[in-house]
Amino acid sequence: MQEWIDQAIERLVASAGLDGYMLLLLTTPLSIVQGIVTFFPFATLMLLHVATFGVVEGLLVSWLLGTLASIVCFWLSRSLLQPWFMHRFGERLAKYDKWQRHMDHYGVWVVILLRSIPIVPSNIISIMAAISPLHWRAYLWSTTIGTFSQVWLFALLGSSLLDPDSDTFMIWAAYAGFCFLLLVLFLVRRARSQVKGQG
């Protein structure tokens, strides 16, 4: 099924005849659809962006479109289409009940974690955030950071698979440092919350 979807996207790109930045006329709506219903992996669009724009620009475009798609899904889930989303994804949401409780409690940190380590589908993360008490501004910056982390991780994994001989140690080290910084910020925030709770 996944192979068929990838081939369909490739055929769509080829038949549209879009080059360079014109490709965004196709990949922007595809990214938004992927962010709402997630029936193909975002990595497919990332590879397309990297092949078209080069590594740095392709990853930047992927980050921006991934963030945009998650914001659209969040907004739709919280406003216009909430009943439909709950009916359509209710059973899948129930499987992630533990994460929902964590999101209700820790908010932005769970969004960053789940986007950084893609163990929960992107649209489910957006819907869980939408039905949590998380403020939309907090969701905006946390999903931006989390999507940045996810794109960075996918790029590292992809480069390791495509070119096993490439020296990516420094990039892995930088990513580990980024994750460590997020962990420290989370622990500091949690410690402050506990102190306030005791005070």
User: In the chain, which residue ranges form alpha helices assigned H by DSSP?
Assistant: 2-16, 24-37, 42-53, 55-78, 82-95, 97-106, 108-116, 122-130, 136-162, 169-198
Radius of gyration of the chain (CA): 18
- In whole angstroms, give the CA distance from residue 50 to residue 64: 13
Longest pairwise C-alpha distance within the chain:
64
88 alpha-carbon distance from chain centroid: 20
Other CB atoms within 10 A of residue 31 CB: 25
All structural domains of the chain with their residue ranges? 2-198
pLDDT at 150: 92
Q: Are 13 and 23 in contact (CB under 8 A)?
A: yes
pTM: 0.80
pLDDT of residue 145: 95
Mean pLDDT, each 10-residue run in order, the chain (199 residues):
60 67 89 88 86 88 96 88 70 72 79 86 88 88 94 82 73 90 86 72
CA distances from 139 to 86, 114, 147, 179 (A): 19, 13, 12, 19
